Amino acid sequence: MKLKTYKTKEEFCKDNLKLLEKEEALNNIMIAVILDAKEEEVENWLLARVENDSKIEMIIIINKPKNGLLMYSPTKNYSDEISEFIASEINKLDIDLLEINSRKQLCENVAKYYTKLNGKKIKSKKDKYILELTKLEEIPINEKLELVKIENENCIEEICDNIKEFQEEAHKKVITNDEAREHANIHMKKGLYVFKNDKGEIVLQAMTSRKLINGYVIGAVVTPKKYRGKGYGKIGIYLLSNKLLNDGAKVLALYTDAKNEISNHVYEKVGYKRISEELLISFE
């Protein structure tokens, strides 16, 4: 087994992007991270793959300054042998990992060997799912919603209020109006959509959080508290998915909190199916 490293984004993509694209929804973070990176930014990253004879066992990205480890095994090799090898190579390179984000079994195995080698402690674990749209299901729409793409200051105060509410609920973090505005600006750059009822009120908002090769990852789906339990989430995700498909997307995915059974059930009703159990491990 050997670690093959790459010095440039171009070299890494030439060898590995087609492999990642074969399971595009599964590899949504890796694809988005490398496509968004500028060539000069990756100079201090670890771009690599593990080869064993003629087989490509693992594709690896560690992006700085985040120092987050992303992995994909085309052979689905999550064994102790390869996990120990990866942890050992990272330790040799003196990389101070802050987190690992990957398939659950692989993430746990690599973390086990990495912490043994350098004495680091695990700070937190977060279980997630990756869902992919397999077939857009026809759903009953009992209330017409207007889908609007936000590209200017229109509705910005209402949008920021929803972002603040989401941050406090999902991340236990209270943010200021200025911080909410920064979030909103990022969302607009990526693709921010709101859904309005017949009174012009925003009952749901979402964004295309990651641009892939053949589609998007939908994220930051927020239903304000006073509009919950009315089916807006299901209708909104259906409408947005339908629009993106009509605009040419071939792959649509969602990255969800495994503990949020309600939202996962809503997505499944629309036609999104769970394709992977993921784990995010953060180190102290």
Spatial strand order in the sheet of 192-196: 2-6, 46-52, 55-63, 68-72, 99-103, 272-283, 122-133, 251-257, 215-222, 202-211, 192-196, 146-150
Q: In this predicted structure, what is the pLDDT of residue 282?
A: 97
* pLDDT value of position 218: 97
In angstroms, the Cα distances linking 246 to 54, 60, 240, 243, 255 are: 40, 33, 10, 5, 22
* Amino acid 143: pLDDT: 87
The number of CA neighbours under 13 Å toward the Cβ of 96 is: 3
pLDDT at res. 77:
96
Query: For the whole model, what pTM was predicted?
Result: 0.92
pLDDT for residue 105: 98
**Tens-of-pLDDT digits for all 284 residues of the chain?**
999 999 999 999 999 999 999 999 999 999 999 999 999 999 999 999 999 998 999 999 999 888 999 999 999 999 999 999 999 999 999 999 999 999 999 999 999 999 999 999 999 999 999 999 999 999 988 889 999 999 998 899 999 999 999 899 888 899 999 999 999 999 999 999 999 999 999 999 999 999 999 999 999 999 999 999 999 999 999 999 999 999 999 999 999 999 989 889 999 999 999 999 999 999 99
Which token pair is 251?
Answer: 């792959």
Tell me, what's the pLDDT at 153? 85
Q: What is the pLDDT of residue 169?
A: 86
Model pLDDT, residue 171: 81
